[in-house]
A and B are shown apart, each in its own frame.
Chain A
Amino acid sequence: GQNIDQPTEMTATEGAIVQINCTYQTSGFNGLFWYQQHAGEAPTFLSYNVLDGLEEKGRFSSFLSRSKGYSYLLLKELQMKDSASYLCAVRDAGGYQKVTFGTGTKLQVIP
């Protein structure tokens, strides 16, 4: 099975940088997702990491360390619209490769 941990809430200032951490313990691992979810809406895909290292996409970057069971999402130049929940999810190894989500981190961006 999977055990995925994220902080419940974070607050950051507009224009700043924030790092949202995710740790996982798994019986098999094939990759890690990050999703953004605004209140009342469906999650939207941000990134998928399979190999160790940092992947950058504009203001968002995602890092993975498979040996440590650790990932983070880095948001730069925060904007008010970045206020949302950020969900970490792990994809199993093996045939069916199901995806399991953490409980999410609610980020509030303040002026």
Chain B
Amino acid sequence: NAGVTQTPKFQVLKTGQSMTLQCAQDMNHEYMSWYRQDPGMGLRLIHYSVGAGITDQGEVPNGYNVSRSTTEDFPLRLLSAAPSQTSVYFCASMGGDNYEQYFGPGTRLTVT
């Protein structure tokens, strides 16, 4: 039981490049989400999903796309990277009786 996994752990992109951050969970949770964390701003919700085929925008969705074709996977796509997207990205899944939200280890992204 791996919990929530994220790849890659570190990434450097040039402005304008695109990439996909991968996230997978093996707990059969319906709810998954993507956050970015910047100094002094806490965790901000980018996109979230309440089940396969259902996604919605969070606080800061611009420049990011998501899809949820399976319960397990919830990839985050950066369409055209910008320096403002330099951040630490966390994927999370939530479920169980206590609605405990488990976080992946994070992806540290730098856009130059």
Question: A residues within 8 Å of B by Cβ?
Answer: 31, 33, 35, 41-45, 48, 87, 89, 91, 95-104
Question: A97–B105 contact, CB under 8 A?
Answer: no
B101 at the interface (CB under 8 A from A): yes
Our pick among B45, B90, B99, B104 for the contact of A48 (Cβ within 8 Å) is: B99
Question: B56–A48 contact, CB under 8 A?
Answer: no
Question: A98–B98 contact, CB under 8 A?
Answer: no
Which size bracket describes the interface of B in this complex? 20 to 34
The A contact surface, by secondary structure, is strand
A97 to B45, CA, bound (A): 12
Question: A42–B90 contact, CB under 8 A?
Answer: yes
Question: B40–A98 contact, CB under 8 A?
Answer: no
* Known pairs A42-B105, A43-B90, A103-B40; A98 contacts B100 (CB<8 A): no
A77 to B40, CA, bound (A): 28
B64 at the interface (CB under 8 A from A): no
Question: B42–A102 contact, CB under 8 A?
Answer: yes
* Known pairs A48-B100, A87-B42, A103-B41; A97 contacts B35 (CB<8 A): no
A48 to B48, CA, bound (A): 19
Question: B residues within 8 Å of A by Cβ?
Answer: 31, 33, 35, 40-45, 48, 50, 56, 58-59, 90, 94, 98-106
B3 to chain A, nearest CB (A): 10
Residues of chain A within 8 A of B98, CB atoms compared:
48
Question: B102–A45 contact, CB under 8 A?
Answer: yes
Question: B56–A45 contact, CB under 8 A?
Answer: no
Residues of chain B within 8 A of A103, CB atoms compared:
40-42
Q: Can you identify 6 A-B contacts, CB atoms within 8 angstroms?
A: A41-B106, A42-B104, A95-B50, A97-B31, A101-B43, A101-B45
Residues of chain B within 8 A of A98, CB atoms compared:
33, 45, 48, 56, 58
A103 to B44, CA, bound (A): 9
